[in-house]
Amino acid sequence: MSASQSRSLAIPVDGAGTVSALLIAPPQARACFVFAHGAGAGMTHVFMNDAAESLAARGIATLRFQFPYLEKGSKRPDSPAVAQATVRAAVAEAARLCPGLRLIAGGKSFGARMTSQAQSAAPLPGVTGLVFFGFPLHPAGQPAVTRADHLDAVEIPMLFLQGTRDKLAEMELLEPVVQRLGRRATLHRIEQADHAFHVPARSGRNARAVMDELTQAFAVWCDALPGA
């Protein structure tokens, strides 16, 4: 399977029916990322597509999947229990389809938080690290850190990829959270990026340059994981 080809899948989720998924597994992949989407857009959103293709070019497979609410055409996100069950089902499917590859889980915004909550409740089998594309530390305009409390129970390495203008994770709040987590957590700042990783024109960078930075940071972190 080339980096530009996707394999369509259907994943059964206990108590929530079946959800759609997409696997991109480049030749000689060294890891597979179970990649959950954000609350407002599904697995085929342009950001998800671009990230998956960019990771494939760096030798990292991706398994993207829909949460049940979007599969059903609803705009209201699933309960944490249903979302976490979906993450677990996707991780199990990735392990089945990509035997021998290092498993990493995470996602964009809502998907990142549902994955970390699942991991904190009970370790995701075979997963050796978590990657967050814009961890949603708090609602916009409501700064707080309680959404990060569960991260203390996560015992595997975590990578936070965060824009410095992200209104859902003010940097002065996020930095102490990462420091509290100690050696388990790594923060990579995307200068001038917002929660969607958009940067102003005056930055001199475009969406592709930002995506290259995101996925390069991911790949470097992945290769530095214990046992890599």
Beta-bridged to residue 36, according to DSSP, are: 65, 107
Q: What is the predicted pLDDT for the residue at 3?
A: 42
Q: Please, which pLDDT band fits residue 226 given cuts at 50, 70 and 90?
A: confident
Q: What is the predicted pLDDT for the residue at 134?
A: 97
Portion of the chain with pLDDT greater than 90, in percent: 93
Instruction: Judge whether residue 67 has pLDDT over 50.
Output: yes
Name which residue leads in pLDDT, 41 or 10. 10
pLDDT tens, residue by residue, 96-145? 999 999 999 999 999 999 999 999 999 999 999 999 999 999 999 999 99
pLDDT tens, residue by residue, 23-61? 999 998 999 999 999 998 899 999 999 999 999 999 999
SS (H, E, C) 110-174: HHHHHHHHHHHHCCCCCEEEEEEECCCCCCCCCCCCHHHHHHHHCCCCEEEEEECCCCCCCHHHH
Portion of the chain with pLDDT greater than 70, in percent: 97
Instruction: Judge whether residue 197 has pLDDT over 50.
Output: yes
The structure tokens 């080809």 sit at 5
Instruction: Judge whether residue 2 has pLDDT over 60.
Output: no
Q: What is the predicted pLDDT for the residue at 131?
A: 98
The strands making up 102-108's β-sheet, listed across from edge to edge, are 7-13, 17-24, 60-65, 31-36, 102-108, 127-133, 158-163, 185-190
SS3 category, 18: strand
Do 194 and 165 contact (CB within 8 A), yes or no? Answer: yes
pLDDT tens, residue by residue, 71-103? 999 999 999 999 999 999 999 999 999 999 999
Other Cβ atoms within 10 Å of 13 Cβ, number: 22
Mean pLDDT of the chain: 95
Strands 185-190 and 158-163: parallel
Whether the model pTM is above 0.85: yes
Q: Please, which pLDDT band fits residue 4 given cuts at 50, 70 and 90?
A: very low
Determine the residue type at 60: I
Q: What is the predicted pLDDT for the residue at 1?
A: 41
Q: What is the predicted pLDDT for the residue at 60?
A: 97
Q: Please, which pLDDT band fits residue 227 given cuts at 50, 70 and 90?
A: confident
Do 61 and 101 contact (CB within 8 A), yes or no? Answer: yes
Taken in order of first residue, the domains within the chain and their CATH numbers are: 7-223 (3.40.50.1820)
